[in-house]
Structure 1
């Protein structure tokens, strides 16, 4: 029997699916019934972990290689993903982070982070989203951040991009909700991934962060799975333009 969280027969594109949060999101969607197209700059055609997990869930997996820092490559990716019609679900998860104090933050670092974390996600959402609008159905999910709400330290480009994603989520939802396309975002808290390795390796920063999290632990990538399935499934058909924190209570502190 179908449930509000059943994704059987749906296809989900997950960018940055090769590891970390994207890997966990792809696995969760597959377990809910979706076939997965995993996009990564270093995607292997066969034998990768995301493929193994998706196939273990009984779903199909397709790997697509694309460099989201290359604008032309993003346009080619959009054409490839929509060649036979738009996917049902687009999870804009891929991202990068660059740490340097604002006074020494070079243009090249800023440009790269903004291109990957914000501009490429707009281009991909625009090209796929307008086809979802024409069809009358679709789900778009962005991976935002706690820095969609806060400023962070030594990551001005990342904070600007993630704040931009929160605004983009609302802007697209305002335009597309009436056409059956839900646009929302998830804001992960401090999750144990490559992006937070430097913070976790610093005893003082790690302790300060843990002391602020009511749940008392760093998040795990699979903590994002339930929120991803919810926003991809019929259960969220009347949910539009939200940025959902999954942060162990950080923002409520």
Structure 2
């Protein structure tokens, strides 16, 4: 029902909401009445001017590099908070994730920071019977050639969703997950900017197209809404059929 997707009076934080999927999710909530905060890595919101897939109009921005636990701890709190979307992510190409530096950076951002952010906002979310949405990837369910840290971190995110879902449901926090497929963002340029790779990828998607940040926003809105009020610990795969 339309009213179930009305977030007026709600407060949402999208970590990684400065561009890409996270930005689309942030605006999805904003367009439905929520006050939306986003965290990104650049010093000021103005520094995203001209960045593809970034629109910070109507959003409250803060610079927090979640790859550094101390910066998460030092970041200003948000109270009240109804929905926490953990959409941070990075990847290292050219087989850099096989080396310690690349592995550590990807795991810090893609997995460690999920727990750090969830822990930071646990009490305020419990007070509002809030929702945590952990954004992982279809890569969490299969091999990802050349990117061991990315695949492992996303598999960890899926498992963390299950474990926190069970642990924190009695506190009134509903933890759910969202696993995107191929979405046209800066992280997927290695595919989208190469016609042969892109054509091959599209052939493997039954719907015949890439996903969009708006597709992911629709799924996130559903998961955060009362329509999904009995969903706990599950990760919704939103990939146009890619993983079939």
Determine if the TM-score, normalized by the shorter chain, exceeds 0.5.
yes
Helix, strand or coil for the counterpart of 1:37?
strand
What's the counterpart of residue 81 of structure 1? 77
**C-alpha contact 1:38 1:63 (8 A) present in aligned 2:** yes
Is 1:230 aligned to 2:222, yes or no?
Answer: yes
TM-score (norm. length: structure 1): 0.88
Q: What displacement does 1:43 show?
A: 5.3
2:92 to 69, 88, 98: 98
1:51 to 43, 56, 77: 56
Cα distance in 1 for residues equivalent to 2:159 and 2:80? 23
What's the counterpart of residue 38 of structure 1? 38
Q: What displacement does 1:110 show?
A: 0.2
**C-alpha contact 2:45 2:56 (8 A) present in aligned 1:** no
Cα distance in 1 for residues equivalent to 2:103 and 2:123? 29
Between the two proteins, the alignment pairs up a number of residues equal to 239
TM-score (norm. length: structure 2): 0.91
Which sits farther off after the overlay, 107-116 or 12-21? 12-21
Cα distance in 2 for residues equivalent to 1:50 and 1:44? 13
Q: What displacement does 1:242 show?
A: 1.0
Cα distance in 2 for residues equivalent to 1:50 and 1:190? 21
Task: State how 1:170-189 maps to structure 2 within 5 Å.
Answer: 170-189=162-181
Cα deviation, 1:177-232, whole Å, max 9, x if unaligned, reads: 12221111111110111111011233332222111100001111111111111112
Cα distance in 1 for residues equivalent to 2:30 and 2:22? 12
Uncovered stretches (5+) of structure 1, i.e. residues with no partner: 56-60
Cα distance in 2 for residues equivalent to 1:89 and 1:43? 24
**C-alpha contact 2:81 2:128 (8 A) present in aligned 1:** no
Is 1:149 aligned to 2:156, yes or no?
Answer: no
